[in-house]
């Protein structure tokens, strides 16, 4: 859903709103996306280290946890890139809309139906061809929208 470049802006935006821990950011992004997107720790923690190296965030140690706080330099970067942040937030909202979630659910149902039909009983070649034709027609129709 988000490449690392886009993720950087959203992570920094969330830290600007309130100092955050890495795990908290993962959960916040998952919540923001309606459960559709959850960045892995392998994406978030290197991103936070990069933001720290760039001087955009500072770290407050709380035992063995790190609390990330935006710096003046990070705030300035965020303000300079406000249009980008807004565009990314709109992209997340669009991709996570109820309509988009329903389409994803139907896609999963279609995949499951095809797998179940193929596994349920031996199909004759004509049945395989019919399934293939239905899928190809659906693909073509969607691509031409």
Give 89 or 93, the one with higher predicted confidence: 89
pLDDT tens profile 52-68:
999 999 999 999 999 99
State both tokens at 104: 């994803």
What three-state secondary structure class fits 61? strand
More confident residue, 15 or 97: 15
Distance CA 6, CA 50 (A): 14
Q: Half-sphere exposure (CA, 13 Å, Cβ side) for 48?
A: 25
Average pLDDT, stretch 1-9? 73
Q: Can you give the pTM of this predicted structure?
A: 0.64
Q: Give the per-residue pLDDT at 68.
A: 98
Q: Which residue has the higher pLDDT, 30 or 43?
A: 43
Identify the three-state secondary structure at position 62: strand
The answer to whether residues 57 and 51 touch, using CB atoms and an 8 Å cutoff, is yes
């Amino acid at each position: 859903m988000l490449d690392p470049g886009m993720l950087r802006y959203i992570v920094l935006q969330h830290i600007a709103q309130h100092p955050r821990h890495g795990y908290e950011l993962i959960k916040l992004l998952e919540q923001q996306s309606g459960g559709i997107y959850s960045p892995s720790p392998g994406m978030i923690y290197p991103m936070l280290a990069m933001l720290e190296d760039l001087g955009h965030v500072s770290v407050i140690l709380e035992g063995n946890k790190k609390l990330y706080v935006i710096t003046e330099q990070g705030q300035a970067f965020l303000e300079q890139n406000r249009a980008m942040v807004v565009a990314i937030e709109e992209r997340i909202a669009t991709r996570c809309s109820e309509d988009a979630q329903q389409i994803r659910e139907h896609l999963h149902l279609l995949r499951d139906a095809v797998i179940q039909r193929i596994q349920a009983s031996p199909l004759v070649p004509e049945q395989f061809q019919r399934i293939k034709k239905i899928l190809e027609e659906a693909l073509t129709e969607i691509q031409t929208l």
